[in-house]
């Protein structure tokens, strides 16, 4: 069923690079948290790092989309996951701006904070989803190549 292009090397390279780029903003906060813990400062997780490194996520997602198109695999799930993730990031920023959380007019507590934090977490989960889908894409490319 899988009809890969004659040379799947480019799709593999694109998928690997996409997984690395979408994974960095997810893995880096964990690594920094472990380092902080080892240094005796307790485990601190920067859950905002995927949003702060959005350009890296976006570039990685673009590579995953390119690889998925070349491999004719997982195009819709990758595009939808990126789209929903970007929606939550933009909505999170809009609610923070409109509510006054972004400029400090209101405290970081209450219902607006919960909504903003929830959308940020959904964005983070979307980035994790993109990384997982990229891993699945790599697996499918290798499996399809081995079937030939």
Token digits of residue 49: 């790092």
Token digits of residue 66: 């390119």
- Is residue 57 scored above 50 in pLDDT? yes
pLDDT on residue 6: 62
The pTM of the full predicted model, rounded to 2 decimals, is 0.87
pLDDT on residue 28: 94
State pLDDT tens for residues 111-125: 999 999 999 999 999
Confidence class for position 44, pLDDT limits 50, 70, 90: confident
- Is residue 78 scored above 90 in pLDDT? yes
Angstrom distance (rounded) from CA 117 to CA 56: 21
Token digits of residue 133: 């889908």
Q: Hey, CA dihedral for 14, 56, 62, 136, is it positive or negative? A: positive
């Amino acid at each position: 069923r899988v009809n890969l292009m004659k040379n799947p090397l480019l799709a593999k390279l694109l998928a690997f690079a996409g997984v690395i780029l979408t994974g960095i903003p997810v893995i880096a906060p964990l690594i920094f948290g472990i380092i902080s813990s080892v240094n005796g400062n307790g485990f601190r997780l920067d859950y905002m790092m995927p949003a702060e490194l959005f350009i890296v996520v976006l570039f990685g997602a673009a590579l995953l989309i390119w690889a998925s198109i070349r491999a004719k695999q997982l195009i819709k799930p990758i595009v939808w996951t990126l789209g929903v993730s970007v929606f939550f990031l933009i909505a999170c920023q809009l609610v923070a701006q409109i509510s006054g959380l972004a400029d400090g007019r209101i405290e970081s507590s209450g219902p607006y904070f919960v909504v903003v934090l929830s959308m940020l977490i959904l964005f983070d989960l979307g980035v994790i989803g993109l990384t997982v889908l990229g891993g699945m894409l790599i697996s499918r490319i290798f499996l399809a190549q081995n079937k030939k």
